[in-house]
Structure 1
């Protein structure tokens, strides 16, 4: 059966869990699926189970020694002193039981999505369990053990000979994916994020353009802290259109972290849920304009798992599956079901209240700084057109 869009999911994705109090909490997947079910927006025929990535696939990106260390960590056999060298057993990335298997399922979900799209079984595929963009070849970082997006991109190159545009709208710079393809002219990496002056991982400057043959294929839009919707969206729409036109990809892979929102506890941006309607709408448009519709979407960051992530990721699926009309009203049943367990008042609307936060006194200055960043990024592209 061919689908316009498929949803990669199984409960195996919930096994990626560091601890009860760790900010990375895959319970947000449960909340998102339940919101979609309250909307009658997800049919069982659209759900595809992920598989577990094998070692050969993982080592498309990751060092074999690192994969073996992750396996040992998941069995309780990796000494802390050795684990630290691999970024395992740290405050950000603690060791947990069966961490290799849980992480390999996240990667396998991205590969399942890639196969669905590239074989024509679906135009679009979403894998919200993925998006772990900080993982490096031989080291865990920033809650990320294996880098599912990087493995999927290398898989797309090897199996389908595809030119891939990676688009990262997480508030944190997509460093692991960028560095994996920094010298590769057949992969363009695009990341719009909060400036590294204030936020992990501290990279993603507009001057990070690539290296060697890959020079000119890395694009970064670091936004000033407290950036609001208008400047965020203007920066995103202007730059992504030009980058896509320049690169002309065969497939677009988007990472959809939902942590640029004002409520997110780990970041300092001032976006509302409004941007999460526009982010996938533009990706959808560009996929059809340049890639015959081939669009793969993964999840990412997002640490307000009650008020922000379920709405943001539901809006992504509604756009991808052509069901935007279902966002006309918010399902009261979902709010009533989960409010007794939630630490905050849950939303009863797809929009945020206009008085969600006080006026930002530096708004014009922030907007101006972001525009200068956009100009710096676009200048080389526009210069090539002359």
Structure 2
């Protein structure tokens, strides 16, 4: 009997850890799962342990030399001057023990989710340990060693012959995935993110549309700093429906970074929890409409692990289970347990405080500028409709 959804997780995913002070902290997965447990929204039978990706699977999207470098780093055998060439041992991506094994486990988690959906055992699958969208074929970047999305898409192409739509709502551009498939007409990459004028990695302009046979299968929606919920969601929903109808995928893979929130320390967007309530529900609707419900979701960014990420990521699972979005207080037991560890006061409700921030003086200007960007970004699709 097909399940509604599976939640891919094991404590082995927590081995991907740069340091106690690094912004990328896998404790957010544990906190999310604990929140779902304490609200009785997930059972042990829903949880599936990930497997580790094989070297052959990693080679679908990564150079053999790079994989060898990662292995050496995790064993303490890599010279600093060599590692820096490959993005390893940098401030963003410092070396940690068993770096290869931990990174391959996150990739394997996404492949586990893929097989559950593509082989029909589950309608949807969630691997919050994935979403490392900055990893390149031969270089680590931006907290990301191996790129689980790129490997998973290549895996779906090879094993299932699938046309894949990749949707990235992280505040940072999904550069590693985009460039992996920039000339591939059977993969469509879609990224809504804060403009690269202010934020790493500095790419993701609307003019990045693909190359050669892949032209017209890369879509970027760079939004202004201080963008609020209404403008973000208008662009996301309008674009995702138009792009999906245009591309006609067999499966959708969504990267669900939770760093467009006002509280996130690394970005400049003014999102609230309403973003994270709506994003996965729209993704599910689109998957049901265009690809028989085949939807795989992964994690990504999100650096306020206390006040934002557990609430945001819980909404993905609740959307997969088709449960109503919760309102009101969070479970008291969850708040009591995690407040003892938190350096900030936790938000005690599913909703954010209102008001969350002072009104934005340039709101109308930002909204209008984003709307103009949306029209330009979708002109390929809209011109095709006019011509037909």
Please tell me the TM-score bracket, short chain as reference: over 0.9
Q: Residue 257 of structure 2 contacts residue 302 of structure 2 at CA under 8 Å; is this kept in 1? A: yes
Partner of 1:288: 288
> Which residue in 2 is equivalent to 1:181?
181
Say which SS state the counterpart of residue 220 (structure 1) adopts.
strand
Tell me how far 1:327 sits from its aligned partner: 4.6
CA RMSD of aligned residues (A): 0.8
Unaligned 5+ segments in structure 2 are: none
Note the 1:308-347 alignment, pairs <5 A.
308-324=308-324, 326-327=326-327, 329-347=329-347
The answer to whether residue 95 in structure 2 is matched with residue 95 in structure 1 is yes
TM-score between both structures, scaled by the size of structure 1: 0.99
- State the partner residue of 1:132: 132
Shift in Å at residue 272 of structure 1? 0.3
Query: Are the aligned partners of 2:259 and 2:301 in contact in 1 as well (CA < 8 Å)?
Result: yes
The answer as to 2:25 corresponding to 1:20 is no
Partner SS, residue 352 of structure 1 = coil
Counterpart for residue 74 of structure 2: 74
* 1:355 to 2:378 alignment: no
TM-score (norm 2): 0.98
The alpha-carbon distance between structure 1 residues 325 and 143, as it changes in their structure 2 partners (threshold 3 A), is: closer
**How far did 1:330 drift?**
2.2
Structure-2 residue corresponding to 1:305: 305
Aligned-partner SS, 1:210 = coil
Does structure 2 retain, via aligned residues, the 8 Å contact 1:259–1:303?
Answer: yes
Find the aligned partners of 2:223 and 2:198 in 1 and give their Cα distance. 11
1:319 & 1:330 partners in 2: Cα distance?
Answer: 17
- Name the counterpart of 1:111: 111
Structure-2 residue corresponding to 1:271: 271
The Cα of 1:348 is off from its aligned counterpart by: 1.2
Greater mean alpha carbon deviation, residues 372-381 or residues 214-223: 372-381
Please say if residues 315 and 327 of structure 1, whose CA atoms lie closer than 8 Å, have aligned partners that are also in contact.
Answer: no
Mean alpha-carbon deviation: is it higher for 325-334 or for 210-219? 325-334
Alignment correspondent of 1:195: 195
Q: Secondary structure in 2 aligned to 1:351?
A: coil
Q: Does 1:243 align with 2:266?
A: no
CA distance in 1, matches of 2:323, 2:9: 19
Conserved 8 A contact 1:39-1:326? no
Alpha-carbon deviation of 1:365? Answer: 0.6
The 8 Å contact of residues 170 and 259 in structure 1, kept in 2 or not, is answered as yes
Distance 2:114 2:325 in 1: 27
* 8 Å contact kept, 1:41–1:326: no
Partner Cα separation in structure 2 for residue 95 and residue 243 of structure 1: 39
Q: Which residue of 1 aligns with 2:229?
A: 229
Do the aligned partners of residues 55 and 342 (structure 1) sit closer, same or farther apart at CA in structure 2, a change above 3 Å counting? Answer: same
The alpha carbon displacement at 1:347 in A equals 1.2
After superposition, give the CA deviation of every residue in 1:199-252 in whole Å (9 maximum; x if it has no partner).
Answer: 000000011000000000000000000000110111111111100000010000
Q: For residues 41 and 328 of structure 1, what CA distance do their matches in structure 2 show?
A: 16
Cα distance in 2 between the residues matched to 1:206 and 1:159: 32
Residue number in structure 1 paired with 2:121: 121
Greater mean alpha carbon deviation, residues 60-69 or residues 321-330: 321-330
Q: Distance in 2 between matches of 1:189 and 1:133?
A: 11
Q: Provide the C-alpha distance between the structure 2 equivalents of 1:65 and 1:127, rounded to a whole number of angstroms.
A: 27
Q: Which runs of 5+ in 1 are unaligned?
A: none
- Counting only pairs closer than 5 Å after superposition, residues 244-259 of structure 1 correspond to structure 2 as 244-259=244-259
Separation (CA, whole Å) in 2 of partners of 1:42 and 1:132: 25
Deviations 1:325-356 (A, max 9, x none): 55565212211111121111111111111221
Distance 1:373 1:113 in 2: 34
Residue 273 of structure 2 aligns to a residue in which SS? coil
